[in-house]
Amino acid sequence: MKNPLSENTYKERLTDREEDIRGPYFRDQTAIIHSLPFRRLKNKTQVFFAPENDHICTRIEHVLHVSTISATICKGLGLDVELAQAIALGHDLGHAPFGHSGEEVLDRLTRQSGGFVHELHGLRIVDKLTRYGKGLNLTYAVRDGIVSHYGEEFSQSIEPSQERKSLAEIEERGSPPTTYEGCVVRMSDKIAYFGRDIEDAIKAELIEEEDIPESVRGELGTRNGEIIDVFVKDLIEWSKKHGKVGFSRKKYEIMQELKEFNYTKIYGHDRLKRYAHHAEVILDLLFDHLLELMEEFGRDYDKYLKSDIPLDRRFGDYIKGLEGFYGVKEPFNPEQIALDYIAGMTDQYSLKAAKEVIFPEPIKFDHVEE
């Protein structure tokens, strides 16, 4: 399998830099891992909001699963492991708190101005927001893989786009990656979450093992490791024969059946729907509060710091830290700024921030009567 564009194109950065002993794609991995958005993934929802059980999958565990699955497939297909792992580690940096429920809320709140898509926001994070507006300066191949990963698309196979894309101008999800490694990550994303979500749903007592369709159990097993093993081996074998990254017809049909089960019995479960409503209330509250705050205080950072609400003080500090970006590299747009800040929150931090808005700090009295 040979990627369609030149190696020089794939290794281009937004700002030229001399590569070091790590090589371009391993350097990208380290840049992603050391970034604040990556660290926050450990407290962002995969399926279950703000889990208190340490063994329930969070977003950071998911991206690590995608990374190792992608590496295994690339070894089987003779592709670049370091490139695939860099894409995998960065592919979910754009996720909002409360998973896809949070994404839907933020999309609704900003629909008139373009909406919110986590793949596109992931590119915004690595290109613009991280490091106080400097970005991570990743290679074209990794940036392309991040903006193109689209984990909710379920085609049997995929192959790279033959043309170079202007990544900053992409406005919709779904464009295919320009590398086979990006295609591998796109498929690995699905392999990673199906089995793990079943295990977590059983722990949460949303389903029982016996609820899993017999045809799925017979073909894939019921444990995450078993499901991953079957899909990975099938994808490697089929892709070698066909020159595309994909599954055999039989395994693809089983995947569709598994998808239907997960979406109906897990993601559509009444308990998760109730949590989705809570997420909506929280994010609506925070979005409205931050917009009102910016309307009142604008860019007067001292006013934020004098607020009785800790969230206001932290938000003012956030805007001040990015004053070389907001209003300089792009317009000072309160809706976009609120979106950027909330999308970066973890589940727990958004809960904390909402409590601070609803229950401000008590008034302090210096004089105490004896």
Q: Is the pLDDT of residue 147 over 60?
A: yes
> Using one digit for the tens of pLDDT, what is the confidence trace for 242-280?
999 999 999 999 999 999 998 999 888 888 888 889 999
Predicted structure pTM score = 0.93
| HSE (side-chain half, CA atoms, 13 Å) at 31 | 24
pLDDT given at position 174:
83
Compute the average pLDDT of residues 317-329. 94
- Tokens 């592709």 locate to 79
Residue type, 147: V
φ, ψ dihedrals at 325, nearest 5°: -110, -60
* Cβ neighbours of residue 318 closer than 8 Å, sequence gap 6 or more: 341
Tell me yes or no: is domain 9-268 CATH 3.60.40.10.
Answer: no
Compute the average pLDDT of residues 175-185. 96
pLDDT given at position 194:
82
> Using one digit for the tens of pLDDT, what is the confidence trace for 75-115?
999 999 999 999 999 999 999 999 889 999 999 999 988 89
Contact 120, 343 (CB under 8 A): no
pLDDT band at 32 (very low <50, low <70, confident <90, very high): very high
pLDDT given at position 138:
98
Q: Where are the domains of the chain?
A: 9-268, 271-358
Share of the chain above pLDDT 90, in %: 74
